[in-house]
Amino acid sequence: MNKVDAEKRIKELRDLVEYHAKRYYDDDEPEISDFEYDMLMNELKNLEKQFPELITKDSMTQKVGGHVKEGFKEVTHEVPLQSLQDVFSIEELIEFDKRVRKQLTDNTKLNYVVETKIDGLSVALEYVDGEFVRGATRGNGLIGEDVTENLKTIKNIPKKLTEKVNIIVRGEVFIGTEEFEKMNEEREVLGETLFANARNAAAGSLRQLDSKITAKRPLNIFIFNVQRLEGNTFNSHYQQLEYLKKLGFNVNPVHDYCTNIEDAIKSINKIGENRDKLSFGIDGAVIKVDELDLREKLGVTAKTPRWAIAYKYPPEQKQTILKDIICQVGRTGAITPMAILEPVRVAGSTISKTTLHNEDFVKEKELRIGDTVIIQKAGDVIPEVVSVVKEKRTGNEIEFSMPTVCPVCGAPAVREQGESALRCTGIECPAKALRSLVHFASKVGMDIDGLGYSIIEQLIEKELISNIADIYALKLEDIASLKKNGTKFAQNLIDAINESKNNDLSKLITALGIRHVGSKLAKILARKYKTMDNLMNAEFEELSAQDDIGDIIAASIYEFFRQDQTIDLINKLKQANVNMNSLEEDSGDKRFEGMTFVLTGSLDNYTRDEASEIIEKFGGKTSGSVSKKTTYVLAGEEAGSKLTKAQELGVAIITEQEFNNMIQ
C-alpha cells in the first residue's frame, strides 16, 4: 500500500475506532463485537507502524479510551491507569519476551505472572490508614470519575483492611456469567432493554448517578495490581497479590507464576482451554514481568507499559450439521428459531444448539435444515452460526418457515410491520406467564402493592399460580409460606389483591397487556366503551374509526378479544368479582373537545398525570411534542425546549393559573 492510500485508510480506521470506542467506553452500548473492534485497532496499529510519520497524538493507538461522564466529579489518578498492548498470536508473545530481554542484560533473571484478563470496568481504590476513602474509574487513564458511593455498594470491596496501610490498588468491576444471564432474564420480563454483554452491564451499573440503582446490580470485583503502597518492601508482583489477599481484597483467582516465556505460554493455553468453566467473562490473558525493579527499567510508553502484554484468544470456528430448526417462545412472547446442531466442541465446550435470532437472520444466512454450517463463540461465550458451507449441499436440505401459531399454546403468531420478531398473542400462554403476571400486577397495571417480580417468580416455582386469574385465588397460607414469619406480609398482599378488584376499567385494560395499548389509550377506551363487554364486542371498523386508533392498533385490540384464551381469562376475572366497568363519571362537559395540550415544566398543584386526566376528562388530548396542531402549551416552572418550540411556532402558551381558570 502506498502512502496516499495508507493515509486515507488510516483516517477511515481512526474515525471507526473512535466511534466504536465511544459506544463501548462512554455509552456502554457496543455495536460490534470485541473481536471486530480488536481487528480494526490492529489494522490501524500495523499501518501506523508501517508509516510512522502518519502517527498523530489524537489517534486511539496513542491514548486510552473513555471520558468522564457528565454528573461525576473528576479524579486525577496519582498513578496512571494504563491500557495494555494486545497481541493475537503465540509468535507475538515470543517477540514480546525477546523485546523485554533485549532491554535488560543477558544474565538478568526474569520471571512472569500470567493472569486472566477480566472483562469488566477498570477502577482504582484508595485506602488511608486501612480505610476505603475513594474509588474512581479509569477514564482516559489520567482522569477518571469519582464513583466512591457506587463502589461502596459492592460487597467484595472491603471498607476496612486488616492492616492500617496507605495503598492504592487497581481492580476490575464485573458481573459473573450466571448473574448476567439472570439480570437480563429479569429485564426481558420487565420489558427493559437487554444488556449487550456483561462488561457493558457492569460499566453501565457502576456509572449510575444514583448509587441505589448500582446497589441492585450483581457487581463483583477482582483486584489485580498495586498502584502505590506506602513503605513498600516487595519486589515481586506475585508476592504483592498474596499480600493483597491478606489485607482482605478479592484478588484475581488466576495468577500463575512462570519462570520463562515457555511456561507463560503453557499457562495462557491452559486458561484458553478452561475459560468456559470460569464463572466470569474474560477477554484474554495478561503476561506481566514479576520483578518490580525490572519494570522500572523497562518503563512505559504514553499509553502502555513495556513490561506487560495482553493475549487475545481468537474465536475458534468449527463445522457441523444443522440437524433441525425448532421454535422457542420467550417470556415476552417472541418466537425465536433455534438451531439443533450435531454436537461439536468449540472453545472448550460442546455446542449442540444455538439461537438463530429471528426469521430475517435465517433468510440472510440462507440456512436450510441439513446444511453444513460454521459456528463460533461470540465473545468466547455465546455460540453463533457464522455461515453456510454451500459447496457441501446435496440437494436434500429443507427450507425452513416460521410457524403461524404459537408452538406452546396455539394462539395466533403475528409479525407486525417494521418488527423483526414473530410473537405469540395468547394472554394465557405458559411461556409468557411470568411476563404477563408481572405486568398485570405492576403499578401501571392493577397496582398490586407487594406483588413484584421475585414474589411472582416464587409463586410460579411453587406452582401456586400459573396465570393471571390465579392471583385472585391465592390464600393467606400460600403467600405466608414464601417468607419466614410471613403472615403480616401475606395479609398485606391479600388486602392489596382484594383492593385491586375495585380498580377502574382503564387499569384492567392496561394490565391485560394488549399489544400497542398503554395506559393513555386504555383510559380513552374505558371512557368510550364504559364496560369490558362493550369493548370486547366492538367491531374492527368501529375501533379503527377512533381518532387515536389506527388500523394496526384496531386489529390488535379486535383480535385480542376474539381469542379463546382472552375470553376464558375475562370470565375468570368476572367470577373473582374484578370490576369490569368505568368508574369515571361523565359530566357531559366536553369543553376541551378537539383541543391538544402539551405539558412542560413543573406545576405547583398538579402532577403531569393529574393535569392530563383533567384535560382528558373534559374531552381534550395531551401530547408529548409541540406541533402546529397543538392548541395550548401548559408551561410550569423550568419549562424547557417545548416552550421554545411553542414560541417559534406561535402556539398559545398558558400558565397554571390560566389553566385553573379554564377548568373552573
Catalytic residues: 117
Report the 10 Å Cβ neighbour count for 89: 11
Answer whether 621's CB lies under 8 Å from 568's CB.
no
Which amino acid is it at 42?
A: N
Q: Give the dihedral of Cα atoms 422, 427, 429, 431; nearest 10 deg.
A: 70
Between β-strands 382-388 and 372-378, what pairing exists: parallel, antiparallel or unpaired? antiparallel
H-assigned helices in 209-327: 211-215, 237-247, 261-274, 292-298
Q: Which of 279, 277, 226 is nearest to 249 (CA)?
A: 226
Q: Cα separations (Å) of 638 from 487, 634, 653? A: 47, 12, 14
Q: Cell for 259?
A: 519462570
**Bridge partner residues of 136 (DSSP):** 124, 146
Q: Kindly report the three-state secondary structure assignment for every residue of 397-417.
A: CEECCCCCECCCCCCEEECCC
Q: Supply the DSSP symbol for 314.
A: P
Q: Is 351 helix (H, G, I), strand (E, B) or coil?
A: strand
List Cα–Cα distances, 631 to 374, 590, 617, 660, in angstroms. Answer: 59, 15, 17, 16
Nearest CA to 326 among 335, 314, 315? 335
| ∠ CA 255-258-262, rounded to 5° | 125
632: amino acid identity, one letter: Y
Place of cell 401530547: 623
User: CA 632 to CA 654: how far, in whole Å?
Assistant: 7
